[in-house]
Amino acid sequence: MPTATLARNTPPAQSGWQRELADAIRDPAELCRVLGLDAAVAEKGLPATGSFPLLVPRVFAARMRPGDPRDPLLLQVLPQAAETEDVAGWSADPLREGDALAAPGLVKKYDGRALLLLTGGCAVNCRYCFRREFPYATSGATRRGVAEGLEAIAADDSLTEVILSGGDPLLTDDAFLGDVIERLDGIPHLQRIRIHTRLPVVLPSRVTPGLVDVLTASRLARVVVLHANHPAELDASVAVAVRSLAASPAIILNQAVLLAGINDSAAVLAALSERLVEIGVVPYYLHLLDRVRGATHFDVPQGRAEELHRQLRDTLPGYAVPRLVREVPGEPSKVWIA
Ligand SMILES: *Cc1c(COP(=O)(O)O)cnc(C)c1O
Ligand code: SF4
C-alpha cells in the first residue's frame, strides 16, 4: 500500500463516538459540578494540569459516585496538587522508551514484538500514565511516522507480533485502522496483531460494527488488551463492547495498574478480576506503577503489592489472578514479580 493512502487528510464524517469524544469533559470545575462536588476539590489540582489536561468522557464520569471526592474513578482522572512535586527517581520517561525507537512510530524492546504508535491522543487522561510526558510529535506517532514504522516492520523478519499502541490506537478511525491492518496482513512474517486500548472501557461506543469488521477481515490472530483498574469501570455498556470485540474473534485480556487509593486492596482487586471474567476478559497483568514524574501519590510499595497478590492467589481461580509485573528499562521482558 502506498504511503499516500495512510496520509489521507480529509476526515470522514464524525461518528457517534467521535461526537462523544468532542463533548468530553475538559474542565476540572465542570467535572466537580457534574458530580456535585465543591469546586475547591478541582481548584486544588489546577496548578498540576500543565500540558496534560483533564480529559474524561461523560459516559465514564457517569460511573463515578456523585458527591464522593475519593471515588476511585475520579481519582484516576482528576489533577492533584501532588503532581507538581518533584521527587528524586521519578522522571519524564521512566521506561526510557525514547531509547527504544527502532523507527519513527515503532518501539522495539522485546524479541518478536514491537509497538506501533498510531497516535498520541487518548480518550481519557490518566494521571498515573507513564507516557504523560512522552514526546509523541517527535517520536513518529503521526500518520507519516506510522507509514515509516510499517516499512520497518516489513523489513524486520524477527517480528511475529505487532502491538498497536499510542496514546490509544483506537482513537484513530476505522478506515485508517483498516489500512494499517491490511498492510500488516500483507507482511508474511507476522502471526499476530495486538491492540492495547482503554477505549472500550472509557468510551464503549468506539467498538463500532466497522471496527469489528476490520478485525474480522484480518488473517492475523487477534489479541485485545484492555486497561481497567477498578470493577466500577466495567458497566453493562463495556460488557456489550467486549462481546462485540470477542466476536471478531479475538482473545480479550486486561491489564491494570496498582494504584494507591484506587485499587490497593485485595477486595477491590478480587472484585476487578471477577467482574472481568464475568464479561469475558482474562486478567493478564497487574503492573507496579512506573516512576513517572507527577504520579508519586499513586505509589504502592512492592512488598505490599506482593502481599496483595498472595491474597488474590488464595481466593481466586488461577486464571483470574493477573501476573504481577514491573517494567525495568534494559530487561529483555517485563519483570515477573509474582
Ligand atoms: C509491554 C510491552 C510489550 C508486550 O509485552 P508482553 O509481555 O508480551 O505483554 C512489547 N513491547 C513493549 C515496548 C512493551 O512495553
Ligand atoms: S489511556 Fe493509557 S496511554 Fe492514555 S492516558 Fe490513560 S494510561 Fe496513558
The Å distance, Cα 55 to ligand 2 centre, comes to: 11
3-state secondary structure of 135: coil
> What's residue 3's pLDDT?
44
Looking at domain 97-336, its CATH class is alpha beta
The Å distance, Cα 228 to ligand 1 centre, comes to: 17
First to last CA, the chain: 43
Ligand 1 cavity residues, CB under 6 Å = 107, 109-110, 113, 115, 163, 333-334
Query: Look-up: residue for cell 511516522?
Result: 145
How many other CB atoms are there within 10 angstroms of residue 148's CB atom?
A: 17
* Pocket test residue of 115, 165, 198, 263 for ligand 2, highest count of atoms within 8 A of CB: 198
3-state secondary structure of 66: coil
Determine the Cα–Cα distance for residues 129 and 132; give it in Å rounded to an integer.
Answer: 5
> What's residue 4's pLDDT?
44
1: its cell numbers: 500500500
The Å distance, Cα 107 to ligand 2 centre, comes to: 16
> What's residue 11's pLDDT?
56
The Å distance, Cα 190 to ligand 2 centre, comes to: 26
List the Cα angle 219/222/224 in 5-degree steps: 155
Task: Note whether 155 and 107 are within 8 A (CB).
Answer: no
> What's residue 57's pLDDT?
98
* Pocket test residue of 55, 76, 119, 126 for ligand 2, highest count of atoms within 8 A of CB: 126
- The helix (run of H) or strand (run of E) holding residue 101 is strand 101-103
> What's residue 2's pLDDT?
45
Sequence ranges of the chain with CATH classification 3.20.20.70: 97-336
Alpha carbons within 13 A on the beta-carbon side of 70: 4
How many other CB atoms are there within 10 angstroms of residue 5's CB atom?
A: 13
Q: Can you tell me which atom of ligand 1 is nearest the CA of 114? A: 11
Name residue 251's amino acid.
Answer: I
The Å distance, Cα 127 to ligand 2 centre, comes to: 8
pTM of the model: 0.94
The Å distance, Cα 47 to ligand 1 centre, comes to: 33
Among protein residues, the one whose CA lies closest to atom 3 of ligand 2: 167
Q: How far is CA 118 from CA 14, 130, 213, 232, in A?
A: 19, 17, 19, 28
Across the chain, which has 338 residues, the per-10-residue mean pLDDT values are 48 83 95 92 76 94 97 96 88 83 90 96 94 74 88 97 96 96 98 98 98 98 98 98 97 98 98 98 97 94 98 98 95 96
